[in-house]
Amino acid sequence: MPYFDHAATTSMVPEVQKLFVEHLTQAANPSSIHNSGRKARAIVEVAREQIGRALKTHPSHIYFTAGGTEADNLAVKGLYWSRQKDKARPRILVSAIEHHAVLDPAHWLEKTSGAIVELIPVNQKGVIDLDELTKLIAKNETDVALIAVMWANNEVGSVQPIEEIVKLANAHQIPLHVDAVQAIGSLEIDLSRINLDSLAISGHKIGAPHATGLLVLRNGFKVDPVLHGGNQEPEVRSGTINTAGAAALGLAVELAVAKQAQHAARLQALRDKLIKEISSLVPDCVVNGDLENRLPGNTHFSFFGASGDSILMLLDQQGIEVSTGSACSAGVAQPSHVLMAMGVDLFHAISSVRITLGTSTTETEVNQLITKLPQAVATARLAGLNVGKKEAVKE
Ligand SMILES: Cc1ncc(COP(=O)(O)O)c(C=O)c1O
């Protein structure tokens, strides 16, 4: 079944799956001090070192979490709380196109803890505006608790100017959190070259099991924990460490980083073919996001006059799986906050379809999609757009 939703999740790497299953049946509690506990602890620490080597940072900077959402929550809430200790720093500067795992904790802090969330605007390509970020910092650099900007966007694939953002944050000694969930394995991440403070990674985007992930924390910035309990990841996170998950994540990160250049080049060739063919076969469509600085496996189209959801369902009926940029609420398509931040109109936003490629994607599958997509768009256009019909929904 041609699957084009690798940004949502991708299948487990066979070697990773093998290691995961092996440890599932053996692992004791890594906090126990008997022999089996010590063996489990050794597995966790080997994985931590493996990740440290791959990302080029010290293993002590790595904290295991149960996924990307938890790592993002820990960074946003934890940095915010810890930055209030010596003085009030209410402002959180967050890019307008962040994943909800970053945006929602920031807005939650606004509701519950007196935070002031200021959105860093993006341009039409979905890239943050560095001048606007500079202006936001300059308003008063001493009252900013943290800055959060993702490395690459999960919807439109635009890659952010992370090196410049790091320099800016470093210059003002403001902690910077970077969500690298979509970047790892697709873009080069070398933490010996880039001095960032906080970085989130999710396992299931790179072939590790669901609900595995990690937060990298550096440069002396501390987080207050979100989860309290046994203090297993000292002063940062409580909860029994998922030994088999940590081992799987260690291997998945090592493989993703080692194969990144080759993987990116292969996906980019397939992606460019898809963009070229669809743009010439389907009238009235545009590619959203940055055409140059873009994740190698991401394509994101808007097909004017058709609803993205209809195209998704029509392809699904033929065994081809894609995704849309819109969320469905009470049967009515809601536009993506990412596309709206890029300044597109509602019709443009809800006619969007995201097609993301991954390790298992073949050229045959891409050709199948190129054959089927034009007809799906034509049929969806006959059905028209289901926008602004909220009044028709009774509940
Ligand atoms: C950019 C980004 N951040 C965070 C997450 C959340 O990660 P997880 O699914 O591991 O909780 C995702 C998942 O879609 C993502 O794409």
DSSP letter at 182 equals T
Which residues contact residue 302 at a Cβ distance below 8 angstroms, ignoring those fewer than 6 apart?
285, 286, 288, 308, 344, 348, 349, 351, 352, 353
In the prediction, which pLDDT does 26 show?
81
Q: What is the distance between the alpha carbons of residues 151 and 182, in angstroms, rounded to a whole number? A: 8
Residues with CB under 6 A from ligand 1: 67-69, 72, 99, 101, 150, 154, 179, 181-182, 202, 204, 213
- Tell me what pLDDT residue 391 has: 37
Give the pLDDT score at 334: 74
Domains for the chain: give ranges and CATH numbers: 14-258 (3.40.640.10), 260-387 (3.90.1150.10)
Which ligand 1 atom sits closest to the C-alpha of 153? Answer: 1
Residue 328 annotated among the catalytic residues of the structure: yes
Is 71 in contact with 200 (CB distance < 8 Å)? yes
Residue of 202, 204, 298 best suited for mutating to test ligand 1, as the one with most atoms within 8 Å of CB: 202
Residue 165, classed as helix, strand or coil, is: helix
Cβ of 117: how many Cβ atoms within 10 Å?
A: 17
Catalytic residue among 328, 331, 362, 384: 328
Structure tokens at 118: 């200021």
| Atom 8 of ligand 1, nearest CA residue | 68
Adjacency order of strands within the sheet including 116-120: 62-65, 213-217, 198-202, 176-179, 144-148, 91-95, 116-120
Q: 326 with 349: CB under 8 angstroms? A: yes
Going from the Cα of 242 to the center of ligand 1, the distance in angstroms, rounded, reads 19
Neighbours of 90 (CB within 10 A): 17
* pLDDT digits (tens), the chain, 395 positions: 899 999 999 999 999 999 999 999 887 999 999 999 999 999 999 999 999 999 999 999 999 999 999 999 999 999 999 999 999 999 999 999 999 999 999 999 999 999 999 999 999 999 999 999 999 999 999 999 999 999 999 999 999 999 999 999 999 999 999 999 999 999 999 999 999 999 999 999 999 999 999 999 999 999 999 999 999 999 999 999 999 999 999 999 999 999 999 999 999 999 999 999 999 999 999 999 999 999 999 999 999 999 999 999 999 999 999 999 655 544 566 789 999 999 999 999 999 999 999 999 999 999 999 999 999 999 999 987 655 443 333 33
Of 24, 157, 20, 148, the C-alpha closest to 74 is 148
Q: What is the pLDDT of residue 325?
A: 62
Tokens of 102: 């970053």
- Give the tokens for residue 83: 């930055």
Residue having the nearest C-alpha atom to atom 9 of ligand 1: 68
Q: Two tokens at 107?
A: 């807005």
Per-residue pLDDT, 326? 54
Q: What is the pLDDT of residue 1?
A: 85
pTM of the model: 0.96
CA 327 to chain CA centroid, Å, is: 17
